[in-house]
Structure 1
């Protein structure tokens, strides 16, 4: 949701999610690729009337480069940047130590220096960035936050009439956070909300054909996985942290379990058929970067092979009927954790526990709210859990989460492999597209066989909306993608209430107004979003968060 409040230098195209102008109207680079010059729009202002200038961009980027709390989220985009300068109000120059494969992609939210410079780094970690004294949060996006506090259940954003891209056609966006899907769906049916996201395939089917409601399963550029604790450490001292089971520290043990998972059954039962079996961390949507496992090692359900690999690695069955560690000690119970706010997560972990039992491995299943599970992950007091990620159009962010430096930050498996890290640095600066794709594929191969993640599925996202109230929405990617949780603000700016639906009537690729205009709740120019099991991380890290961490069908923090 940060993109509703803050702009970035570049955005994403709806069709193919390639970089497009945003705050930067244009850019150019030197022949050696070491100097990038961005021209800032001269008509952009902050919502309090102050001009938005190159100095705000400089301030934002320097916060990240100086190691502020935002660095964990956005640092990958500025890695290798030697200096950032603002020679005038509409020019930003990035001087690089080495070429960057990411540029001109810069989706970093730009924040107002005249507001944020009063917040220290220590205060930033708890800074709510909330409306105060009746005044909205100062931003530059199409909407400004007027109600809502960190950890709350409702957020209200009103239109920013001075938005440089033109004022949206709706007056406000209200986000309500639901802890389960059923109340969100009921709110949609009764007209309390206009859009729900993160519902499952059966729920989508139940809504199809209802008067005034449209529903779909949209392709999601992400994956879901079972993640292992590969070696949690205290990042300050390098000493072990938490208490991972010795078995999950062993790549051979993890790799064997790749063949213990019946991914087809997961799709059929946990996802109600909506999705496809997964294997690597780059989803099929990004075919150029994706690595395909060789046929002989494909991620197929083969419990006999899993048992053989466990035996060969020294995890044999003891006298009590359970497998032992290579030193003869019992493995004990593996702790398998799911997210209680996602039934799919619980279903997957319970299936995994059953498959482990078939291999004579004992385990216990527990479910926690996502926030609590996050704490457990960073404490290192787990053996395996189920979650998922969205993957950005350029995979560098996702790839970076598996590097040694990200342990204690974005890394949740505590994975570290020097060969992988070397390839990450190579692909980050590689200017030849084909060579970079090969490097990214090699990184996936390392991850596949080391198995910090066992990728289970590439899921689709269930969405439903009041098509009797709003029209003119487009999918991302177009066609086949999703309508609500997108990169950028296209739909929030371009959607039309029922009275203006003729503006896009017959336009290919946009949603149309259903014949039952008005529905039970009448017509409104407020767009109320009910987030099924969506966890809207609206105010984390000082109000600016990446839409990356996700749940099985769309949760993001």
Structure 2
């Protein structure tokens, strides 16, 4: 399915991309991407930031893939799969034509090894174990057969998004070593993986990450020789680098920046739908998980669900969408976005409205009354003091949202101070529990299970950034994970969202879009996921990285149909409404159609990314 094919005005050679193929003895064809945040780990068992997930997807393969059309499951390392009638055994057939980048064969043993590490008690479990809920044993019965045995059904097991690592490399890494294992190039040798690209240069926290194409990739060699990521501190210099031709693609920019690029020759920009949300997160109770003693110093007020819920009524979500998001999004409500039509629960309208009078009344009822100075006090009569709010310096959205939040708190008689820090620093602050509230966001996986798991008690200090814990919520999470009746599971997930909305560890501010732009005079054949509305990169999979090619080679974008022919075929087949947008001689096919918002993981819908 051709989701977006860019036809060339002509090819410009420059610092960001080369005009000729390396096979002709000239410079490599290099696709350079500007990022607004650093990779925090190339180790797929340790990373948190969504940039890290993007790097893992280039380096490693997964059990299954997701289509660019509608996110339906597609074969990847597994060519087919089936479960027993009772759901307690899954059998996967593994490809027999895959090799690791060092030439060793990839077999079912590598998958059994990877999943076995996750089922252990090391750091691998903290990141991924929720996806293997109920799995008691993983066995490679031969080179091409993987069998998983379960104690209870797992409704999402085939979707498991765990990168598969080579046993012959990782088996030497002990559990203790895993905590600091970098999985980076050493002594000039690329990282060993089976994905479409090989990491040849880059360290976590660095400013440049360089990948070379894997010419022996089982699903076809990429059409570019290199993908290079450059980290910028903010949107403005990243956009300027695109305009100057220093990079070929920029990711995570604001709607305002997208508008500034529209109509510029040789550039195509879009506000792409994302499967994520942005939120204001409170410290709901940071603790030392071994001793149970509190850590950090959260304000007593933010530990109270009634206080947090009342502050949610002070939010004017529509104003945030109209001003901060420049209209590119919609007001938020819960952690399961509306694109998950079956699973999304929408709170009552009156609980989402901007109602400062009701917020004040609820604070009064909860004991947070106003003193003679107009400032609210704790129920014991002592001052609330100043709430510590944190925003991310690499996101204008983050800083603007918290500026509004500070004003709305002041209207209620609550003092606060906003501190702006880099994303990496904010992660440290969160893990130390030294905050009252911060702004960030998430991308949601192909099923909401992961996102729901981050709010369970055992994820405190790991994926949970709010430190929320409720045993009833945990019980519902376990139930939905093994529920095979889709309607019953949906009801359980609705109940979980209702609990989270009332306890308010998160105030979901917006479901937004993310701004992306490409030098369309250099590169073509970018694919959207989902088709017609979704992102060009930061997808569930590596579709664009494998499809993209120099603009002067764009006559066969999808491998079988020429670009112009594809636009005609799309309209004939009823894929959606084909819209041909003219931009200075550039023709772009945008297949407009309904799509399910399901993709990725940790990030702000704008920049945790």
Report the TM-score when normalising by structure 1.
0.92
1:312 match: 365
Runs of at least 5 residues in structure 1 that lack an aligned partner in the other structure: 518-545
CA displacement at 1:246 relative to structure 2: 0.6
1:276 lines up with 2:330 in the alignment: yes
Contact 2:266 2:520 in 1 (8 A): yes
Residue of structure 1 aligned with 2:378, choices 321, 325, 328: 325
CA displacement at 1:192 relative to structure 2: 1.3
2-structure distance, mates of 1:50, 1:22: 18
2-structure distance, mates of 1:489, 1:515: 30
Moved more, 218-227 or 7-16: 7-16
2:128 match: 74
1:489 lines up with 2:542 in the alignment: yes
Q: Write out per-residue CA displacement over residues 465-518 of structure 1, whole angstroms, 9 at most, x where no aligned residue.
A: 01111112221111211111101011111122123201131224799998779x
Three-state SS of the structure 2 residue aligned to 1:366 is strand
CA displacement at 1:294 relative to structure 2: 2.0
1:122 match: 176
Residue of structure 2 aligned with 1:184, choices 230, 238, 248: 238
1:3 lines up with 2:73 in the alignment: no
Residue of structure 2 aligned with 1:424, choices 477, 480, 487: 477
* RMSD, aligned CA: 1.6
Runs of at least 5 residues in structure 2 that lack an aligned partner in the other structure: 1-53, 558-562, 571-577, 587-598
CA displacement at 1:443 relative to structure 2: 0.3
Q: Write out per-residue CA displacement over residues 346-368 of structure 1, whole angstroms, 9 at most, x where no aligned residue.
A: 11111101000000111111111
2:532 match: 479
1:32 match: 86
CA displacement at 1:198 relative to structure 2: 0.6
Residue of structure 2 aligned with 1:142, choices 186, 196, 216: 196
2-structure distance, mates of 1:471, 1:205: 21
CA displacement at 1:442 relative to structure 2: 0.6
Contact 2:392 2:423 in 1 (8 A): yes
1:401 match: 454
Three-state SS of the structure 1 residue aligned to 2:313 is helix
1:464 match: 517
1:173 lines up with 2:227 in the alignment: yes
1:15 match: 69
Aligned positions of 1:52-131 closer than 5 A: 52-131=106-185
1:41 lines up with 2:95 in the alignment: yes
Q: Write out per-residue CA displacement over residues 220-252 of structure 1, whole angstroms, 9 at most, x where no aligned residue.
A: 110001100011100111111111111001111
2-structure distance, mates of 1:372, 1:241: 18
1:531 match: none
Residue of structure 1 aligned with 2:295, choices 241, 245, 251: 241
1:132 match: 186
Q: Write out per-residue CA displacement over residues 78-114 of structure 1, whole angstroms, 9 at most, x where no aligned residue.
A: 1110100011111110001011111211221000111
1-structure distance, mates of 2:182, 2:585: 41
2:14 match: none
Report the TM-score when normalising by structure 2.
0.84
2-structure distance, mates of 1:385, 1:310: 21
